Structure 1
Amino acid sequence: MGEVIEFSAGGYSFLRGVSQYSGGVSALPGFRLERARLRQPLKLKDGFAVAEAYLRAAGRPLTAFAGCELRSPAPFSEEGFVAFNEEYTQTLAAWGLLTTGLNPVARSNVCPKIAPPPEPSIYAFSFTMPSDDPTPSFVISGSAEVPEGHAAYRDHIVRRGDLSADGLRTKAQFVLCEMESRAGGLGFGWNDTTAVQVYTIHNLYPFLADEIVSRGAARAGLTWHYNNPPVVDLEYEMDCRSIAVEHVI
């Protein structure tokens, strides 16, 4: 992840990331981030249509779209993930979000182990609204236990295939550090968060207290989704946010 870039057309700044998402977003002065969760995830096309209608009804440009939380049927192969990302970013381009040559939108994409959607779907999205509230407002993109920026994930996954208690702890440590790095890059920390989410089908209790709670990452509780990360062989993912206004639509 790299420098912080202002995206004035959307009312937020973003942490430079990879082609499919940024490292995170924070509202610019005069704006705040809000979040809308769909009552039921909707397939990509329909979910984007709902988001578009919602933004227009709120009097916001489509460039105000700042974060997207996805649900997919099962972990992708590396090739499948590349193909999906190309499909996903087509809408962002059509909405004028890629005009800087970079992707400003924060994202998580995870796979429910039980009752997954039949195809990639939108679960929630975040957007900017005008506001004079100076309270921190940000969304940090999901990260699993692999550094970004490599041509392929497989050879760089932390403790790949190791589902021992120590292996899972090491994976979690990497992800927690990545969350801290991304949030810190935008000027924030755990004390600023209003929600932290973890995505794994494995037992996190052995390291919950001394790795997660002790860092302050569960200050507002911890939401555990029984989901896999989006690529085969990834086992543990987290994201976090500071959002005062959330909707269910």
Structure 2
Amino acid sequence: MSTLDNAAAGYRFIPAVMQYSGGVAALPGFRLERVRFANPVPMALGWRRIAAYLDAIGRPRTAFAACELRAPAPFTEDGFRVFNTGYAEVLGAWGILQDGHNPVARSNVCPRVSPPSEPGFHAFCFTVPDADAPPSFAVAGSGESVEGKGTYRENTVAYGDTSPEGMLKKGRHVLGEMERRMGLLGFNWADTTGVQAYTVFPMPPALTEEVVARGAARHGLTWQDCRPPVEGLDYEMDCRGIMTERVLPG
């Protein structure tokens, strides 16, 4: 079983961990759209603004398919569990969780400069009916750790090593995870419209060369000066293939 259908919402997803799915792809007859806030919106207000936006376009809460979050600083592992529990409670109240799975893809990173004062939304994706839509997808963010198999420290590639060699190992792992998730959804780098990398450490030339050689920078690579969401992680990526994107003011 590589993906599960969330048929009522118009997308399928890669089952993963409690806090997110590995990625989503629109089902035939639907397209994904992405909306970015001009500035991060605190979680409680963000949920209300997303709900209002979906209401305004006539889409149910269950159409909510992916999001990108911003946080003030990396969480401890315990702090991350607490945050994820509260986040999942809203998804449950919106009727999104299904059969023990969280279908919503997610990225969550921490800006180094001018971070928000509290966790909030940077962007979100949702489905829209469209009989003629080309395929669209969003892959959740992944750092250099295997989630759901113990502590992050125990499962992090090159833990604490931010040397060029360490960053190359981390980057290769994350590139491979992006490719694995895209493959499960039936896509590859040639299908992407946007690829983002998050790190506060220099990307060594060997890593940037590998990004280019694999085809991940076909439309350029968007580097964001951000840390991954958990202490001890140093490199994260996400990617998407979405034709319609908007920016909301405020």
TM-score, with normalisation over the residues of structure 1? 0.97
Q: In terms of mean alpha carbon deviation, does 4-13 or 145-154 score higher?
A: 145-154
| Partner residue, 2:25 | 26
Deviation at 1:148, TM superposition (A): 1.7
Read off the aligned partner of 2:109 and give its amino acid letter.
Answer: V
Distance 2:219 2:107 in 1: 20
Is residue 163 of structure 1 aligned with residue 162 of structure 2? yes
Which string of whole-angstrom CA distances, capped at 9 and with x for unpartnered residues, describes residues 62-108 of structure 1? 00000010000000000000000001111100100013320000000
Secondary structure of the corresponding residue to residue 13 of structure 1: strand
- Gapped regions of structure 1 (runs ≥ 5): none
Distance 2:17 2:155 in 1: 16
Distance 1:94 1:49 in 2: 13
| Partner residue, 1:233 | 232
Which string of whole-angstrom CA distances, capped at 9 and with x for unpartnered residues, describes residues 5-48 of structure 1? 00012110001110100000000010000000011111101001
| Partner residue, 2:108 | 109
Distance 2:135 2:226 in 1: 28
Read off the aligned partner of 1:120 and give its amino acid letter.
Answer: P
Cα 1:133–1:202, aligned 2, differ >3 Å: closer, same or farther? farther
Read off the aligned partner of 1:77 and give its amino acid letter.
Answer: T
Secondary structure of the corresponding residue to residue 92 of structure 1: helix
| Partner residue, 1:17 | 16
Cα 1:156–1:208, aligned 2, differ >3 Å: closer, same or farther? closer
Aligned-residue identity in percent: 54
| Partner residue, 1:130 | 129
Deviation at 1:208, TM superposition (A): 4.3
Distance 1:126 1:193 in 2: 15
Secondary structure of the corresponding residue to residue 33 of structure 2: strand
Distance 2:218 2:138 in 1: 16
Q: In terms of mean alpha carbon deviation, does 194-203 or 144-153 score higher?
A: 144-153
| Partner residue, 2:57 | 58
Distance 1:114 1:209 in 2: 23
Which string of whole-angstrom CA distances, capped at 9 and with x for unpartnered residues, describes residues 148-203 of structure 1? 22231111110001111011000000000000000000000000000000000111
| Partner residue, 1:184 | 183
Deviation at 1:137, TM superposition (A): 0.1
Aligned length: 248
Distance 2:98 2:165 in 1: 44
Distance 2:199 2:210 in 1: 15
* Kept after mapping to 1: 8 A contact 2:172/2:207: no
Distance 2:47 2:11 in 1: 20
Distance 2:123 2:90 in 1: 16
* Kept after mapping to 1: 8 A contact 2:71/2:111: yes
Deviation at 1:132, TM superposition (A): 2.1
Read off the aligned partner of 2:40 and give its amino acid letter.
Answer: P
Which string of whole-angstrom CA distances, capped at 9 and with x for unpartnered residues, describes residues 195-221 of structure 1? 000000111141344210100000011
Secondary structure of the corresponding residue to residue 160 of structure 1: coil
Distance 1:133 1:214 in 2: 33
Which string of whole-angstrom CA distances, capped at 9 and with x for unpartnered residues, describes residues 120-146 of structure 1? 101100000011234220000000000
Cα RMSD between the aligned structures? 1.0
- Gapped regions of structure 2 (runs ≥ 5): none
Read off the aligned partner of 2:225 and give its amino acid letter.
Answer: Y
| Partner residue, 2:152 | 153
